[in-house]
Amino acid sequence: MAYKPQYYPGNTSVAKNRRKHMAGDLEKMRDISDEDLTAILGHRAPGSDFPSTHPPLAEMGEPDCPVREVVEPTPGAAAGDRMRYVQFADSMYNAPAVPYWRSYHAAINYRGVDPGTLSGRQVNEMRERDLEEFSKDVCQTEITDWGLAGMRGCTVHGHSLRLQEDGTMFDMLDRRRLEGGVMVMDKDQVGVPIDRKVNLGKPMTESEAAKRTTFYRIDNVSFRSDKEVIEHVQRVWELRTKYGFVPKA
Amino acid sequence: MVRTATVTDRLKNVRIFPQRLLQPETAEKLLNELDQVKGVVRMLISGKNLPRKITCGPGTGKDVNHPDRIIIHVSGCAFELHVIVGEVLVEVENESVVDELKKACERALPFPFEMKRGYFIKSKPTLTDYGKYGFKSKTDETINLEDERLLGLIDPHAKVEPNLCMIKAEGL
């Protein structure tokens, strides 16, 4: 039997969703075209070439290095792309992703990524064409619900606020909003207007979001209700404490 | 004899905290309903800022044009919302007004809300207020304000005009 990693303990829906996110086993929820995605990322004009920061690796004549021989460069690194970022904010009102799980998802399933985890937002840096591939996966799958999450390069405020009346997360720069039952975005991630309205699909209903979330919440699935998770967390903390205690050092 | 400080009777405040951030239409409806209640002295709305322009990042200086930053009318007085309304603090003359406030909120809000009684609006002038308004005279060291109900309604550093709405000014 092939080895199947178990990323996270627990039997509740939240624990199962956390495992799914870490394993990259995500359901596709919507279609976003390459051009639309490039437009909302805002790093280059849709249809333009990828600007580069160095010549392609094949032309550079790399030095002899066993590590370079073993590690195959990502397409972005091989082409010499710029480093660029994408950042998301997720509402604590049952958004599908917790910032930490976005980082786990990126670090486990993609190469050449530098995830940054903060309390209410999560940023990933990588080479530009790798970033676009990664962002497309993230934007189209269940890890992002555009009603309860937002692509926000700056002014990320919203994670810990009450939701708006229409059930979406507050966005100070009004980058995306609910129009005619679907989420539309007409600015890039830093709030600069773009030349199109990108359709981001329907937001999840309240009950669907509660099913797909990775947030433990007392009014949905509480952390304390999952005994296996508690046991695991307590074990990790116990071992961390014991291994940190070295009297002779 | 020199009067040394402004002394005001403290009136009870009520904090109305809706479950959701209010759209301008709901906020307008709520404020109008609250204004109809007899015994309301002043109201203070607060919430998250809706900036006119982007203030940080590569888009700095670009217009935001947030659809919730619009002009609303409360008892015939028009003012522009600068925030998405998250809570309303209401100062009332006495405790008996609270039940009426609750009924007004139930009429205006289509979702649950919390009400708390206490003291939330500043009632005594602080050093910054004295710095802004000064004393009345050399012998009267109370704050140089005609109507002390203005205290606590706006930041002492902010301009009065876009932030304060005087309703029924002739009756004050």
| Structure confidence by residue, pLDDT tens digits, B113-163 | 999 999 998 888 889 888 888 898 888 888 888 888 888 887 777 777 777
Q: How many CB atoms within 10 Å of residue B123?
A: 16
Residue A144: the pLDDT is: 96
- CB-closest option in A153, A161, A177 to B48: A161
| Structure confidence by residue, pLDDT tens digits, A113-122 | 999 999 999 9
Interface check B69 vs A, CB under 8 A: no
| Structure confidence by residue, pLDDT tens digits, A192-221 | 999 999 999 999 999 999 999 999 999 999
Tell me the two tokens of residue B86: 């998250």
B147 to chain A nearest CA, in Å? 34
A182-187/A193-199 β-pairing: antiparallel
- CB-closest option in A163, A170, A192 to B62: A192
Tell me the two tokens of residue B8: 């005001």
Picking from B17, B20, B65 by the largest number of A CB atoms within 10 A of its own CB, the best residue to mutate is B20
Residues of B within 8 A of A191 (CB-CB) are: 54, 57, 59, 62, 64
Burial B53-62 (b: 16+ CB within 10 A, else e): ebeebebeeb
**Distance between CA atoms of residues A42 and B54, nearest Å:** 16
A-B contacts (CB, under 8 Å)? 67
Confidence class for position B172, pLDDT limits 50, 70, 90: very low
Across the interface, do A190 and B65 touch by the CB < 8 Å criterion?
Answer: no
Residue B147: the pLDDT is: 80
Residue A249 confidence (pLDDT) above 70: no
Of A34, A119, A128, the C-alpha closest to A80 is A128
**Distance between CA atoms of residues B106 and A62, nearest Å:** 71
Of B88, B108, B116, B131, the C-alpha closest to B26 is B108
Contact present, A84 and A126 (Cβ < 8 Å): yes
Of A8, A17, A11, A14, the C-alpha closest to A142 is A17
| Mean model confidence pLDDT for chain A | 95
| Selected residue with higher pLDDT from A241 and A140 | A140
- Angle made by CA atoms B33, B38, B40, in degrees to the nearest 5: 80
Chain A residue nearest residue B82, CA to CA: A172
Rounded mean pLDDT of A41-55?
95
Place of tokens 């995605």: A37
Confidence class for position B6, pLDDT limits 50, 70, 90: low
Residue B4: the pLDDT is: 62
**Contacts by residues B102-105 (CB-CB < 8 Å, ≥ 24 positions apart):** B104/B30, B104/B33, B104/B34, B104/B36, B104/B37, B105/B16, B105/B30, B105/B33, B105/B34
Interface check B48 vs A, CB under 8 A: yes
Across the interface, do A164 and B50 touch by the CB < 8 Å criterion?
Answer: no
Picking from B22, B62, B63, B85 by the largest number of A CB atoms within 10 A of its own CB, the best residue to mutate is B62
Contact present, B29 and B145 (Cβ < 8 Å): no
Residues of B (111-170) whose Cβ lies below 8 Å from A: 111
| Mean model confidence pLDDT for chain B | 87
Interface check B64 vs A, CB under 8 A: yes
Supply the pTM of this predicted model.
0.89
| DSSP-derived secondary structure letter, B90 | E
Residue A26 confidence (pLDDT) above 90: yes
Confidence class for position A247, pLDDT limits 50, 70, 90: confident
